[in-house]
Amino acid sequence: MTATVDRVEDAAVRPPDDDRRHRLVAAIGVPVAALVVALVAGGILMGVEGVAPMSVYGEVLRGVFVLDGGLRDTAVVATPLLLLGLGLAVAYRARVFTIGAEGQYIVGAVAATGWATAEGVRGWPGPVLVLTSLMVAVAAGACWAAVTAGLNARFGASVVITSLLLNYVAAALLAWAVRVGIRDPGAFTPQSRPIGAAGLPEVPGPAIHLGFVLALAAVPLAGVLLARSRFGYRVEVLGAGKEVLGAGEARPARVTLAVLAVCGALAGLAGYVEVAGVTERVTPDFATGYGYTAIIVALLGRLRPTGVLIAAFALAALSTGFDAAERGYEIPSSTAGVVQALVVVFFVAGDALAHRMGR
């Protein structure tokens, strides 16, 4: 009798091979298909506008792969997206749906710039300045994210709402900082002093700033953290259910705080890297929405470090390519944004479809 019960219960489980294949196809197929369909739909829209889409796309590809510095520009744009996307991927695995990366990115950049340009600090030797600024950015981003965790733990406030609203506070902080707080007294327009020696050197060879290497190194680090550390395990359990975590492994509020702190630290780091590698100072229009684009990066990357790497490059290429195409064709500069938005729409729809078919 034992044997028959065994067989019945085994049969109740779907063949695992079949299932794994289906999940793999959905995991990779849906983002890729979403990208392709979005490009086709974007092409139709351009056709309506009277532009030949194929030649625009040709120019996009040329802009990324052929034109001078195309790949370099792509890598530079991909750097903050990658760091931000990794942090969000960790948070979303735990089902902590923060939208606060943008604010943490701004706060990290402002804090690091404030530190590196402060009286008495700015004369320090380069490596020390880089290291301390980096730590200041990481701490600032983490603290900014911890506000959300605290509000959630103490008052049960929604992570989505508080993290989103804190972005506006961060934007106001940026506006104040460049006009009053860390303003360059010698400049006519509102902006901070240049960070000077705290800037990141370029890597010899591809001529990309060191931050790119940092971002690349963060990918395997995040992978190991998720797969092999107790923290990574708790992220997965929290994602499965707060109560299970609280009854069997750790205090949910602490894990939520840790998750948000990691997310904020990576976002703060991204902010510093952007200042130190690209803009060299903080200006009123420093925030360009990378923190929101990174949400798409994390989701398209299926919340996996390698996936985030690929998605960051894909979206960065889209942006640099369209920048190049814009110069040659009569297309509005928002076209890249439209295509990105279409990617999201088709991705979400495709996911729902794949989920249904999987039943």
Report the nearest approach of another protein to the CB of residue 252 (Å): 10
- Binding mask of the shown chain, residues 170 to 209, with x at each position contacting another protein by CB under 8 A: ----------------------------------------
Binding of residue 8 to another protein (CB under 8 A): yes
Angle formed at CA 148 by CA 146 and CA 150, multiple of 5 degrees: 70
Kindly give, in sequence order, each residue whose CB lies less than 8 Å from that of residue 342, ignoring residues fewer than 6 positions away: 37, 38, 41, 42
Interface residues for another protein in 340-359 (CB under 8 A)? none
Kindly give, in sequence order, each residue whose CB lies less than 8 Å from that of residue 97, ignoring residues fewer than 6 positions away: 91, 159, 160
Report the nearest approach of another protein to the CB of residue 135 (Å): 24
213 vs 209: CA distance, rounded Å? 8
Report the nearest approach of another protein to the CB of residue 290 (Å): 30
Q: Quick one: 119 or 243, whose CB is closer to another protein?
A: 243
Report the nearest approach of another protein to the CB of residue 99 (Å): 23
Q: Which of 6, 126, 327, 333 binds another protein (CB under 8 A)?
A: 6
Query: Can you tell me which residue has the tokens 């700033």?
Result: 209
φ/ψ of 279, rounded to 5, equals: -85, -20
Distance from the first to the final alpha carbon of the chain:
31
- The SS3 of residue 1 is coil
With CB under 8 A, what is the number of residues at the site for another protein?
Answer: 33
Interface residues for another protein in 204-263 (CB under 8 A)? 227-230, 232-233, 236-237, 239-241, 243-251
Q: Quick one: 48 or 247, whose CB is closer to another protein?
A: 247
φ/ψ of 358, rounded to 5, equals: -70, -20
Report the nearest approach of another protein to the CB of residue 150 (Å): 17
CA 27 to chain centre: 19
One-letter amino acid identity for 215?
A
Report the nearest approach of another protein to the CB of residue 48 (Å): 44
Q: Which of 13, 120, 180, 330 binds another protein (CB under 8 A)?
A: 13
328 vs 86: CA distance, rounded Å? 34
Which contiguous run of DSSP H or E holds residue 203? strand 202-203
Report the nearest approach of another protein to the CB of residue 4 (Å): 7
Which residues contact another protein by CB under 8 A?
A: 1, 4-6, 8-16, 227-230, 232-233, 236-237, 239-241, 243-251
